[in-house]
A and B are shown apart, each in its own frame.
Chain A
Amino acid sequence: MRLAVQTEPFDLGAESVAFAAGAAGAGAVVTFTGIVRDNGGTLSAMEIEHYPGMTERAIAAIMEEARSRWALVDALVIHRHGRLAGGEMIMMVATAAPHRADAFAAAEFLMDYLKSRAPFWKKELGPEGATWVAAKDEDEAALRRW
């Protein structure tokens, strides 16, 4: 399992290929990629703040939890912070398992938990200035299904 918290862009293709190639014993790989929405062209940038130290701890704990629940061969989380433009890739998750049901479920679980339990905060810069993105009730509700 690998996690990376970084400002630099990542190469989705290279990361996905390397992850699949390294997942010995897997029969299924699922990847998810989060992209900065440009809000119909009005977003000038997104700034992502995080809590160095706690971010890595929280993501590692979420990945461990996923591994205890599903038959995962491997998992990968890359999450960026800093200033991003619309259309840029914010983060990716990859899971590898012997069968696809576990790979899909674990990827969704990782996403639901990263959304509201990893200490990142998004700020949108648009025509009306800067706005902190508010957490949604449905994000919290999404955790209850697991």
Chain B
Amino acid sequence: MTVEVLYFAWVRERIGLPRERVSTQAETVAGLIAELVAREERYAMAFADLSSLRVALDQDLADFDSPLAGVREVAFFPPMTGG
């Protein structure tokens, strides 16, 4: 399947782009992260500490073990600092 992957804040800066289309075999968010980390060092750097990362699936917060089936948009970002 193909998903649109978005990166925000320092995740975007470490990976060096705001979004990309990714062809994946992964069944879960964790599987997708493993595929990305295996690509290049900049992905490994961005995903080095999952406790400092959050994920949203189709614009709703989700967990790293959430399934990817039917998902179109995956976003990775640090904990939010609104207000």
A54 to B21 Cα, complex, angstroms: 19
Q: Which residues of A contact B (CB under 8 A)?
A: 34, 49, 51, 53-54, 57-58, 79, 90-91, 111, 114-123, 132-135, 140
Closest to B18 in A: A49
Q: Secondary structure of the A side of the interface?
A: mixed
Closest to A93 in B: B83
A118 to B54 Cα, complex, angstroms: 12
Residue in A53, A91, A121, A123 whose CB lies within 8 Å of B80: A121
Interface size class of B (residues with CB under 8 A): 10 to 19
How close is A52's CB to chain B, nearest CB, in angstroms?
10
Q: Which residues of B contact A (CB under 8 A)?
A: 6, 8-10, 56, 59-61, 75, 77-83
**A91, B59: Cβ atoms under 8 Å?**
no
How close is A80's CB to chain B, nearest CB, in angstroms?
11
**A132, B10: Cβ atoms under 8 Å?**
yes
**B80, A119: Cβ atoms under 8 Å?**
yes
Residue in B56, B77, B79, B83 whose CB lies within 8 Å of A114: B83
Chain B residues positioned under 8 Å from A79 (CB to CB): 82
Residue in A54, A58, A91, A116 whose CB lies within 8 Å of B79: A116
Of A49, A58, A119, most buried by chain B (CB within 10 Å of CB) is A119
Chain B residues positioned under 8 Å from A132 (CB to CB): 9-10, 78, 81
Residue in A53, A115, A140 whose CB lies within 8 Å of B82: A115
Contacts A/B (CB < 8 Å), 25 sampled: A34-B83, A49-B9, A53-B59, A79-B82, A111-B83, A114-B82, A115-B82, A116-B82, A117-B61, A117-B80, A118-B82, A119-B8, A120-B80, A120-B83, A121-B8, A121-B9, A121-B77, A121-B80, A121-B81, A122-B81, A132-B10, A132-B78, A134-B79, A134-B81, A135-B79
